[in-house]
Amino acid sequence: MNVIFLTMLKTNIEQRYIYSDLMRRFRNEGHEVYIVMPSERREGKPTTLDNSNGAHALSVRTLNVQKTNVIEKGLGQVSLELLYKRAIKKHFKGVKFDLVLYSTPPITFTNVIKYLKKENPQAMTYLMLKDIFPQNAVDIAMLKKTGLKGLLYNSFRKKEEEMYRISDWIGCMSPANVKYVLKHNSWIDAAKVEICPNSMEPVDEPEQTMEERDAIREKYGLPVGKTVFFYGGNLGKPQGIPFLVDCLKANCRREDCHFIVVGDGTEYERLNNFINEEKPQNVSLYKRLPKEDYDKLANACDVGLIFLDYRFTIPNYPSRLLACLMQKKPIIACTDPNCDTGSIAAANGYGMWAPSNNVGAFTGCVNQMLKSDIKAMGEKGYQFYLNNYTEKHTYDAIMKHF
């Protein structure tokens, strides 16, 4: 079977990530895999096709579409369809596709999908729904439904609806996502909306020894004999960083635990200012680390932290949860009440939930976690991952339709 995957992320099929793991599963199951991804202007490279590693990876020269100014990002998104379509016509001419696979963000693949469907009427189109845009931007005041920004919202909303319409199947990350999509798009046939989770391939790696863990903690100035809570990843508007700062402030004089934050983003300076002003003894902040060092540090900690802005009405399901589960770390999820990350964790014994507007509730979760069997909770999380979130689960969710 010929599978084409449209993505906004650089995807090396041999690297570990939710999409590369899935594409590797398709390849290993004997399918022919075609990946279309951007090669941003800043890279200074032309459109190229790489046929190594058992996959056809088409890197399409585009404008800068990530980590750039708003104008270029907008133009890049708008021009993406034309550039992808042109590159597919040229480099995949004559290839008949059986499955057209794509994810959000963005919602600007619509015309590419229509073209592929026209050329391959027998093909199945499958949307892996990761971001519910533009409503998520409205929730955190990046867009409005009125005024000039309202025109943008209406344009994006029409594109969102069109993407749902042309998708044969819509795979959502969690039950709350399925419920939300159907509630706010009542015209969609409920039978074509299903669970297709974030997932990663299990890795058979030896667990860190106590000596290795202690050495890593000493390297980063972390206490060896205390519970360490770890937050890693993007530090932007969606993560509700002001609330994270409030939680750290409320717990920064504790002597029974330590907090470490590793990440970067538009809200990093807010955290950095807190560290410089308060000089907390039990909070550490690192802006960036190489991936291998980041993974080792995360593994040397005890509990994963997840934060999302309380204003969200759409139910996010953060992919960073996977890393916690795979490393056998329980979680504390501080989110809006629409998100089911925390409730699923609590129901299955591998985590706790606090609303991300209640510092006292977060502190209560910390207190409860310190009294819990953290190792046993981590094992429950790992088993839940094996039973629900491996790349085979995502592969099977898609392939059951063939």
Domains and CATH numbers, the chain: 2-196 (3.40.50.2000), 210-388 (3.40.50.2000)
User: What would the mean pLDDT of 54-64 be, rounded to a whole number?
Assistant: 88
User: What would the mean pLDDT of 126-134 be, rounded to a whole number?
Assistant: 93
In this prediction, residue 156 carries a pLDDT of 87
Given a cut of 90, whether residue 143 has pLDDT beyond it is no
Distance CA 257, CA 276 (A): 20
Dihedral angle over CA of 387, 391, 393, 399, nearest 10: -170
Residue type, 210: M
Angle at the Cα of 239 from the Cα atoms of 235 and 240, rounded to 5 degrees = 105
Confidence band, pLDDT 50/70/90 cuts, at residue 76: low
Decide: 298 and 362 in contact? Cβ < 8 Å: no
Distance CA 332, CA 69 (A): 34
User: What would the mean pLDDT of 182-210 be, rounded to a whole number?
Assistant: 93
Given a cut of 70, whether residue 67 has pLDDT beyond it is no
Q: pLDDT tens, 362-397?
A: 999 999 999 999 999 999 999 999 999 999 999 999
In this prediction, residue 73 carries a pLDDT of 66
Given a cut of 90, whether residue 399 has pLDDT beyond it is yes
Tell me the three-class secondary structure of 58-81, residue by residue.
EEEEECCCCCCCHHHHHHHHHHHH
In this prediction, residue 323 carries a pLDDT of 93
Using CA atoms, how far residue 169 sits from 29, 101, 178, 224, in Å, is 21, 10, 12, 49
pTM: 0.92
Residue type, 259: F
In this prediction, residue 105 carries a pLDDT of 73
Using CA atoms, how far residue 301 sits from 109, 244, 258, 305, 367, in Å, is 39, 18, 10, 11, 17
Decide: 301 and 230 in contact? Cβ < 8 Å: yes
Distance CA 197, CA 175 (A): 10
Backbone phi and psi for residue 262, each to the nearest 5 degrees, phi listed first: -130, 115
In this prediction, residue 23 carries a pLDDT of 96
Q: What is the per-residue DSSP string for 317-350?
A: --THHHHHHHTT--EEEEE-TT--HHHHHHHTTS
Q: pLDDT tens, 324-333?
A: 999 999 999 9
Given a cut of 70, whether residue 361 has pLDDT beyond it is yes
**pLDDT more than 90, % of the chain:** 78
In this prediction, residue 381 carries a pLDDT of 97
Angle at the Cα of 18 from the Cα atoms of 116 and 303, rounded to 5 degrees = 155
Given a cut of 90, whether residue 240 has pLDDT beyond it is yes
40's CB contacts (< 8 A; 6+ apart) are 62, 63, 64, 65, 66, 76
Decide: 156 and 74 in contact? Cβ < 8 Å: no
Q: Which residues pair with 127 in a beta bridge?
A: 102, 170
**What are the strands of the beta sheet with 331-335, ordered from one edge?**
283-286, 257-264, 227-234, 303-307, 331-335, 351-355
328: left (phi over 0), alpha (psi -120 to 50) or beta: left
Placement of tokens 């002597």 in the chain: 255
Other Cβ atoms closer than 10 A to 105? 16
99-103 and 124-129 beta bridge pairing: parallel
In this prediction, residue 72 carries a pLDDT of 61
Distance CA 377, CA 351 (A): 7
Confidence band, pLDDT 50/70/90 cuts, at residue 68: low
